[in-house]
Structure 1
Amino acid sequence: MTIQELHQLFLNSSGICTDTRKITKNCLFFSLSGDNFNGNTFADQALTNGAKYAIVDQEEYKTNSNTILVKNSLETLQKLANYHRRHLGLKIISLTGSNGKTTTKELINTVLAKKYNTIATVGNLNNHIGVPLTLLSMNKDTEIGIVEMGANHQKEIAFLCKIAEPDYGYITNFGKAHLEGFGGVDGIIKGKSELYDYLIENNKTIFYNTDDEIQKNKLKHYQKTICFTSTESECENHIKLIEVNPFVNYSFNNTKVESKLIGSYNFTNLCAATTIGKHFSIENIDIKTAIENYIPNNNRSQIIENGSNKIILDAYNANPSSMEVALDNLNKLSDKTKIAILGDMFELGKDAEIEHQNIADLCSKFNLNKVFLIGNHFNNISTSDSKIIKFQTLESFEENFIPFKNSTILIKGSRGMALERILKLLK
């Protein structure tokens, strides 16, 4: 079966499904396999549950006329997504970066939805499976697609660009995330820059922050750029930071915006969404309204009032760069009692020991009342600072937990630490 023929079946279906627990009637089931499971074994179950067709890549599982045999189910899904993207011919904005890409994606979508019919990546489904599924969730009514791209190795962003074929792109930053997979900071810059490389090669438009010297130098000879800045007047989008206390307030074009995002690190994310909104002719008042109504969730920069305590829940993920700015933000708050509960940062490879030590040393320098470090990596750091207390596991932290009062508490760690579990202790 050709991709064109499969695409026609897709257009007449209720959509794509890869999980038999989430089958919708008349969907196309793709039997994707992983290290510990064979998706082909679920094909019959998918058809029984209501799927119209099941796509398999092992001949013994082609059991009837509603089972379609292909060479590779995942590659077929990716080719179908690219064909569908071309079929729709809509504008695609792609973004990547070490920190803040999901929040920025949601802000961009919130702003553009004021005028356009948009579809954006759900959650962080931003990999070689998530990007195709995002593209295949778009339809003839979709005017702009916002596609988040994640990676932890070289060539992954370049591969995702071949599937999504973006018309516009933005990189949030180059931070210390996935150091192990990328092979260090230079590898991160090279890997994330694959988005800009694709856009430049195909003469597409790039949004960028001129306050970021890496981006500024990389794009200085490319003409199809739209920049923003908080410092340089020659850039077409000058956006001014008013204050962070603890929420980010800023202004553009004589319009003041009072966001519900905390930390100066979110200012750049807000600048990007504002700039992209302006480019797509969103009215200033609509940008303001969209931003001010956006409330972060999913354990990202959430403010939770809990009795006498104020909790900054930023436990979705962590790396050295994002940990540093979160701690810096906590340090700058005027609150009387400030506590940090930090979990291990993963995927740092040979840099794990020094990066965890750096975070502990930073905590010692900052004006914090107590710091709790949780996890194997943090447990191995050395410190003589009495305000820093180490726990090898979350369970040992819970066993020794003493309730806080009248405190501002930052909770941050890598996804695998799942530090949001601490919330139940603070109730």
Structure 2
Amino acid sequence: MKTAELHSLFLTCRSACTDTRTIQTDDIFFALKGDNFNGNTYASKALEAGAKFAVIDEASAHTSQHTILVENVLQTLQELASFHRNYLGIPIVALTGSNGKTTTKELINAVLSQKYSTTATKGNLNNHIGVPLTLLSMNKTTEIGIVEMGANHLKEIAFSCHIAKPDYGYITNFGKAHLEGFGGVERVIKGKSEMYQYLTNHGKTIFVNAHDPIQIEKTKQAKIYTFGKSDHKVDVGVNYIDAQPFVSCAYHNYAIQSHLIGDYNFNNIAAAITIGHYFKVDDSAIKTAIESYIPTNNRSQIITKASHKIILDAYNANPTSMRAALLNLEKQEGTKIAILGDMFELGKDAHKEHTEIVKLATALEIDKIYFIGENFNNVQEYSEKLTLYPSFEAFQAKNPNLDFLNATILIKGSRGMALERVLDLF
């Protein structure tokens, strides 16, 4: 079936779905395959659950006129998404980066939705499957699309741009994330900069942090729109005020108080303000959007339990974000506790990077530090402030009931560590 024909059928459906557990009436189901699953075996179940069509790539699953047999389901999903993006013809804002992608995406969406009907990536569905599903979630009511793009190897951002064809782009930063897949920081920069290459080659606009020398260097030939301190030569001036306890900043005649902790979130806020300014969102509406946004899903959440102020940042971690979180913790008042879990996807750099975090953490004015995970447990250099546990289970066994009087507690680790489980111990 040609993409245009499939698109006509797609337009009669409610939405695209790849999981039979979330099927709703009149969805179109894409039977994707993975190392441990084969969606073709669930095609009949999807139709029984209410799907209007099931797109399959195995003849044995072709059981009715509602199953659509194609050569490759994943490729079909991606081609359909790109076709749908062209069909809608709306402006697409894309973003990537080593840290802060999802928070920045949520802030941009909060700001732009003050004036426009927007559709943004849900959660962190930002890979070769998530980007197509995001595009297919947009419809004729969508005025601006916001697409988050993630990557753990070269050419992945380039491929996402090929599908989404963004008109605008922003890279949050370049840091030590997914070092195992990329093969080093320089290749991280190269991989993320694939977005710059696409936008530059197509004459599109890039939003740039004027105080990031790498961003400035990489966009010298591009059409850029900059932000930074108001006393610099930038298109939008945003000034940092403080981050005690939440990040606040000044924009035009407004002081904006966010619900985000850590001065590392300032650039995320400034980028959202800048993009809102570019799209002519009213200043007061920008202020309302930033001040109304409350982080969720274990991302820089502030949770109060008894006398404890808990900074729950357990969605993900890499050396760059871990360092920023620890420096922010040191600035807090009163007793400071760090409960840190392993950082994943660091490859051959894992031992070196975990050692560096241990050295940093023990050098800071933090009262008690707990390190959880095999990588941290393998670090031999530590002080009396350090307590090591090879696993969460080992930590839980020794600390079934945590209690610190009037303490600020940072909980941070990679997603696989699931350190939000620590909350149950208070």
Settle same-fold status: TM greater than 0.5.
Answer: yes
SS in 2 for 1:317: coil
Q: Does 1:172 align with 2:177?
A: no
Q: Does 1:247 align with 2:246?
A: yes
* Partner residue in 2 for 1:388: 386
Q: Distance in 1 between matches of 2:296 and 2:280?
A: 27
How far has the Cα of 1:384 moved from its partner? 3.9
Q: Distance in 2 between matches of 1:119 and 1:77?
A: 19
* Partner residue in 1 for 2:153: 153
Q: Distance in 1 between matches of 2:393 and 2:416?
A: 14
Alignment match of 1:348 (pick from 340, 346, 349): 346
How far has the Cα of 1:237 moved from its partner? 1.2
Q: Distance in 2 between matches of 1:27 and 1:315?
A: 33
For structure 2, the 5+ residue unaligned runs are none
What are the equivalent positions in structure 2 for 1:263-274 lying under 5 Å apart?
263-274=262-273
Instruction: Indicate how the Cα distance of structure 1 residues 273 and 246 shifts in structure 2: closer, same or farther if over 3 A, else same.
Output: same
**Number of residue pairs the alignment of both structures matches:** 424
Q: Distance in 1 between matches of 2:31 and 2:140?
A: 26
Which is further off, 188-197 or 400-409? 400-409
User: Structure 1, residues 141-171: CA drift from partner, whole Å, max 9, x if none?
Assistant: 1000000000000000000001100000000
* Partner residue in 2 for 1:226: 225
Q: Distance in 1 between matches of 2:294 and 2:321?
A: 20
Which is further off, 229-238 or 249-258? 229-238
The answer as to whether partners of 1:91 and 1:167 remain within 8 angstroms in 2 is yes
The answer as to whether partners of 1:343 and 1:417 remain within 8 angstroms in 2 is yes
* Partner residue in 2 for 1:298: 297
SS in 2 for 1:107: helix
User: Structure 1, residues 303-335: CA drift from partner, whole Å, max 9, x if none?
Assistant: 1111011000000000000000000001122x1
Q: Distance in 1 between matches of 2:307 and 2:359?
A: 29
SS in 2 for 1:76: helix
How far has the Cα of 1:220 moved from its partner? 2.3
Counterpart code for 1:52: K
Q: Distance in 2 between matches of 1:394 and 1:162?
A: 41
* Partner residue in 2 for 1:187: 187
For structure 1, the 5+ residue unaligned runs are none
Counterpart code for 1:378: F
* Partner residue in 1 for 2:135: 135
SS in 2 for 1:239: strand
The answer as to whether partners of 1:373 and 1:391 remain within 8 angstroms in 2 is yes
Query: How much identity, in percent, do the aligned residues show?
Result: 59
Counterpart code for 2:120: A
* Partner residue in 2 for 1:48: 48
* Partner residue in 2 for 1:208: 208
* Partner residue in 2 for 1:93: 93
User: Structure 1, residues 237-291: CA drift from partner, whole Å, max 9, x if none?
Assistant: 1211111102011001121101111101000000000000000001111000110
Q: Distance in 1 between matches of 2:46 and 2:270?
A: 44
Q: Distance in 2 between matches of 1:152 and 1:306?
A: 36
Which is further off, 127-136 or 379-388? 379-388
Q: Distance in 2 between matches of 1:218 and 1:45?
A: 49
Q: Distance in 2 between matches of 1:65 and 1:151?
A: 37
* Partner residue in 1 for 2:75: 75
* Partner residue in 2 for 1:217: 217
How far has the Cα of 1:230 moved from its partner? 2.5
* Partner residue in 1 for 2:358: 360
Q: Distance in 2 between matches of 1:287 and 1:231?
A: 17
User: Structure 1, residues 40-74: CA drift from partner, whole Å, max 9, x if none?
Assistant: 11111111111111111011211121111100001
Counterpart code for 1:191: G
Q: Distance in 1 between matches of 2:262 and 2:283?
A: 23
* Partner residue in 1 for 2:283: 284
User: Structure 1, residues 201-222: CA drift from partner, whole Å, max 9, x if none?
Assistant: 1000000101111001111232
* Partner residue in 1 for 2:13: 13
SS in 2 for 1:214: helix
Root mean square deviation, CA, Å = 0.9
Runs of 4 or more consecutive aligned structure 1 residues displaced over 2 Å after TM superposition: none
Q: Distance in 2 between matches of 1:173 and 1:384?
A: 30
User: Structure 1, residues 159-189: CA drift from partner, whole Å, max 9, x if none?
Assistant: 0001100000000000000001001000000
How far has the Cα of 1:232 moved from its partner? 5.3
Counterpart code for 1:385: S
- TM-score, length-normalised on structure 1? 0.98
The answer as to whether partners of 1:211 and 1:231 remain within 8 angstroms in 2 is no
SS in 1 for 2:99: coil
Q: Distance in 2 between matches of 1:263 and 1:61?
A: 51
Q: Distance in 2 between matches of 1:52 and 1:220?
A: 49
What are the equivalent positions in structure 2 for 1:393-404 lying under 5 Å apart?
393-401=391-399, 402-404=402-404
